[in-house]
């Protein structure tokens, strides 16, 4: 089969493009440190949060700059997050544990790649580093019912010395 | 809709009809044009009805009554009471978690789904208090308490506009959007210009060829060039004007288009991955 030299050029170019895509993804996970969300959060009884951390959701200090935030998503709010913001200190590494009390929801920090599905019976675990004080929106991005469009919340990153124990 | 769900809705509808029957005197008052408080549009579009409870010491309001698409209503939503009357909100246990939040910020109940949970408040001062359920406010789960005689009233349905909720504002980066628009706009224009030039060149060549072929055919048929032959004959097969080998043909226009496509794909990839995905705010690290 005779292949025109122009065709050879764009065959090679498309292969280079594919290799380039794979290379950038590799760069993202190795050099930039972006991780995929895994199932390490485990499972939970969706109708009973007794002694799971979700019976008293909020932000807790673990040690050093490490914090954990338990968030319950339900129709149509995040607890905490919606009626009062999730407060975390600047310069902290926060592991979010998010679960649903009713139907499938989403937990996304707007304009960032922090985005996880929230499924009843499962705990979505996602770790985020907050460097600077600021405010971020949270959205539910899985249609969860008539009030889905109103399901949003807020994360407030406060200066480290102003943090007073989460949102509770 | 599942069977259970349908039953729940039917039950809700029945409950609504029942409540309408209980509040029958209210409806009767309406039809007679009796005055009722003007809630200023706060309850427009909200289910739950209205109850004139003046003369009572205590009024009960169901939280999580059927309405607003599910169990997302206060019933009665609008009440008119005397000063000193205690309003007791009682949770039905339906429709998930509810609370009672004063629009003016003077009171707020716990957020709970517990059946039988109550929250009460005694209204001493005259005026209208607007309240809502925080999770279901946008669905119309709102209520209002009118206290005393010194409140604005209407004789028919209340007026006022539909309260609207400010939509969530995305923090769009206008700089990035502008840059992207400029780049993609320029690329698009360049591609369109190339296509147009190529197309025109082809058209010009074709018409020149066609004219030459027509002239030749006319000469063969012994007709003066430019005049139409009287009989239409089958199209004469003409010799190719020019024959080229496979590698002699250079589709520069196609090659240019493909280069442009590749540039667009590469740019979109850069914007999507490095700007949007990696470049924004906190990143997932575990």
Restricting to A residues 41-60, those with a Cβ less than 8 Å away from any Cβ of B are: none
Mean pLDDT of A111-127: 92
Measured CA to CA, the distance from residue A130 to residue A107 in angstroms comes to 17
CB contact under 8 A, B283 and A4: no
CB contact under 8 A, B111 and A79: yes
On the question of a cis peptide bond just before residue A80, with omega within 30 degrees of 0, the verdict is yes
Residue A80 forms part of a structural domain: yes
Asked if residue A28 and residue A83 are part of one domain, the reply reads no
Q: How far is A35 from chain B (nearest CA, A)?
A: 5
Nearest alpha carbon to residue A66 among A41, A88, A87: A88
Asked if residue A150 and residue A86 are part of one domain, the reply reads yes
Under 8 Å CB pairs connecting chains A and B tally to: 120
Nearest alpha carbon to residue A159 among A92, A75, A67, A100: A92
Q: Could you tell me the pLDDT band of residue B35, with boundaries at 50, 70 and 90?
A: confident
Contact A152, B168 (CB under 8 A): yes
Asked if residue A58 and residue A28 are part of one domain, the reply reads no
Question: In chain B, what residues touch A32 (CB-CB under 8 Å)?
Answer: 278, 283
Question: How many CB atoms sit inside 10 A of residue B159's CB?
Answer: 11
Asked if residue A143 and residue A62 are part of one domain, the reply reads yes
Task: Write down the pLDDT at residue B17.
Answer: 47
Residue A41 forms part of a structural domain: no
A112 touches chain B (CB under 8 A): yes
Task: Write down the pLDDT at residue A50.
Answer: 83
Mean pLDDT is lowest, of A14-18, A70-74, B41-45, B98-102, for: B41-45
Task: Write down the pLDDT at residue B228.
Answer: 58
* B110, closest residue in chain A (CA to CA): A83
Of A9, A74, A126, the CB nearest to B284: A126
B69 touches chain A (CB under 8 A): yes
Asked if residue A97 and residue A28 are part of one domain, the reply reads no
Region at A99 (left for phi over 0; alpha for psi -120 to 50; beta for the rest): beta
Question: In chain B, what residues touch A79 (CB-CB under 8 Å)?
Answer: 111
CA distances from B106 to A20, A60, B38, B182 (A): 59, 30, 21, 51
Of A2, A28, A126, the CB nearest to B273: A28
Task: Write down the pLDDT at residue A100.
Answer: 92
B283 touches chain A (CB under 8 A): yes
**Vertex B81: Cα angle to B80 and B82 (nearest 5):** 140
Mean pLDDT is lowest, of B52-56, B87-91, B134-138, for: B134-138
Q: Which two tokens stand for residue A144?
A: 């969860």
Nearest alpha carbon to residue B47 among B70, B28, B18, B26: B70
Mean pLDDT is lowest, of A38-52, A63-77, B165-179, for: B165-179
* A21, closest residue in chain B (CA to CA): B269
Task: Write down the pLDDT at residue B223.
Answer: 56
Q: What is the CATH number of the domain that holds A110?
A: 2.60.40.420
Q: How far is A76 from chain B (nearest CA, A)?
A: 5
Asked if residue A154 and residue A73 are part of one domain, the reply reads yes
Asked if residue A96 and residue A30 are part of one domain, the reply reads no
Of B97, B255, B281, the CB nearest to A6: B255
Mean pLDDT of B23-43: 63
Answering whether pTM is above 0.80, one says no
Q: Is the pLDDT of residue A66 over 90?
A: yes
Residue A79 forms part of a structural domain: yes
Q: How far is A62 from chain B (nearest CA, A)?
A: 16
- Phi/psi for B86 (5° steps) reads -95, 130
Domain of residue A119 covers 53-162
A141 touches chain B (CB under 8 A): no
Measured CA to CA, the distance from residue B46 to residue B141 in angstroms comes to 6
Measured CA to CA, the distance from residue B227 to residue A119 in angstroms comes to 80
CB contact under 8 A, B282 and A109: yes
Which of B15 and B183 is assigned the larger pLDDT?
A: B183
Restricting to B residues 247-266, those with a Cβ less than 8 Å away from any Cβ of A are: 247, 249-251, 254-255, 258, 262, 265-266
Residue A48 forms part of a structural domain: no
- How high is the mean pLDDT of chain B? 79
* A125, closest residue in chain B (CA to CA): B286
Give me the number of domains chain A comprises.
2
Half-sphere exposure of B263 (CA within 13 A, CB side): 13
CA-atom Rg of chain B in angstroms: 38
Residue A134 forms part of a structural domain: yes
Q: Per DSSP, what are the bridge partners of residue B67?
A: B70, B71
Q: How far is A158 from chain B (nearest CA, A)?
A: 14
Residue A42 forms part of a structural domain: no
Percent of chain A whose pLDDT exceeds 90: 52
Measured CA to CA, the distance from residue A109 to residue B37 in angstroms comes to 43
Angle separating helix axes A5-30 and B252-269, nearest 10 degrees: 0
Task: Write down the pLDDT at residue B162.
Answer: 46
Question: In chain B, what residues touch A46 (CB-CB under 8 Å)?
Answer: none
CA-atom Rg of chain A in angstroms: 20
A4 touches chain B (CB under 8 A): yes
Asked if residue A4 and residue A71 are part of one domain, the reply reads no
Mean pLDDT is lowest, of B5-14, B43-52, B237-246, for: B5-14
Site from A30, A150, A151, A154 to mutate, B interface, most B CB atoms within 10 angstroms: A150
Residue A92 forms part of a structural domain: yes
Asked if residue A91 and residue A27 are part of one domain, the reply reads no
As a three-state string, the secondary structure of chain A is: CCCCHHHHHHHHHHHHHHHHHHHHHHHHHHCCCCCCCCCCCCECCCCCCCCCCCCCCEEEEEECCEEEEEEEEECCEEECCCCCCEEEECCEEEEEEEEECCCCEEEEECCCCCEEEECECECEEEEEEECCCEEEEEECCCCCCCCHHHCEEEEEEECHHHCCCCCC
Of B249, B265, B285, the CB nearest to A127: B285
Which of B4 and B182 is assigned the larger pLDDT?
A: B182
pLDDT digit string (tens) for B136-180?
887 889 999 999 888 888 875 444 444 444 555 555 567 778 888
Contact A116, A102 (CB under 8 A): no
Mean pLDDT of A53-77: 90
Mean pLDDT is lowest, of A49-53, A137-141, B107-111, for: A49-53
CB contact under 8 A, B266 and A17: yes
Measured CA to CA, the distance from residue B254 to residue B257 in angstroms comes to 5
B111 touches chain A (CB under 8 A): yes
Asked if residue A107 and residue A58 are part of one domain, the reply reads yes
Residue A148 forms part of a structural domain: yes
Nearest alpha carbon to residue A52 among A67, A68, A65: A68
Asked if residue A152 and residue A101 are part of one domain, the reply reads yes
Asked if residue A29 and residue A57 are part of one domain, the reply reads no
């Amino acid at each position: 089969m005779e292949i025109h030299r122009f065709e050879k050029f764009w065959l090679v170019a498309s292969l280079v493009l594919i290799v380039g895509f794979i290379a950038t993804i590799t760069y993202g996970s190795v050099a930039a440190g972006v991780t995929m969300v895994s199932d390490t959060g485990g499972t939970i009884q969706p109708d009973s949060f007794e002694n799971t951390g979700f019976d008293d959701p909020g932000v807790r200090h673990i040690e050093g700059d490490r914090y954990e935030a338990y968030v319950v998503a339900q129709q149509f709010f995040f607890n905490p997050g919606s009626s009062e913001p999730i407060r975390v200190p600047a310069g902290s590494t926060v592991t979010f544990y998010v679960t649903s009390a009713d139907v499938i929801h989403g937990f996304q920090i707007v304009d960032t790649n922090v985005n996880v599905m929230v499924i009843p019976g499962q705990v979505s675990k996602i770790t985020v580093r907050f460097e600077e004080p600021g405010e971020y929106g949270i959205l539910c991005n899985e249609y969860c019912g008539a009030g889905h469009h109103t399901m949003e919340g807020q994360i407030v990153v406060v200066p480290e010395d102003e943090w007073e124990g989460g949102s509770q | 809709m599942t069977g259970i769900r349908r039953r729940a809705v039917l039950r809700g509808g029945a409950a609504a009809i029942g409540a309408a029957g209980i509040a029958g005197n209210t409806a009767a008052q309406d039809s007679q044009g009796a005055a009722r408080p003007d809630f200023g549009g706060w309850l427009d579009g909200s289910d739950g009805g209205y109850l004139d409870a003046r003369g009572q010491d205590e009024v009960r309001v169901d939280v999580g009554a059927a309405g607003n698409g599910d169990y997302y209503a206060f019933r009665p939503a609008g009440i008119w009471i005397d000063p000193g009357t205690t309003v007791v909100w009682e949770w039905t246990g339906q429709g998930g978690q509810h609370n009672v939040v004063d629009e003016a910020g003077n009171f707020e109940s716990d957020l709970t789904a517990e059946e039988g949970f109550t929250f009460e408040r005694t209204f001493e001062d005259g005026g209208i208090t607007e309240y809502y359920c925080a999770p279901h406010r946008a669905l119309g789960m709102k209520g209002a308490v009118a206290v005393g005689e010194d409140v604005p009233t209407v004789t028919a349905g209340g007026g006022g506009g539909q309260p609207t909720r400010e939509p969530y504002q995305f923090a769009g980066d206008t700089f990035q959007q502008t840059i992207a628009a400029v780049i993609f706009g320029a690329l698009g224009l360049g591609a369109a210009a190339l296509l147009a030039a190529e197309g025109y060149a082809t058209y010009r060549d074709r018409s020149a060829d066609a004219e030459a072929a027509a002239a030749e055919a006319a000469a063969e048929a012994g007709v003066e060039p430019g005049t139409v032959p009287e009989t239409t004959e089958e199209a004469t097969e003409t010799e190719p004007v020019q024959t080229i080998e496979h590698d002699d043909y250079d589709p520069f226009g196609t090659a240019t288009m493909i280069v442009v496509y590749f540039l667009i794909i590469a740019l979109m990839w850069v914007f999507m991955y490095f700007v949007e995905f990696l470049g924004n705010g906190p990143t997932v690290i575990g």
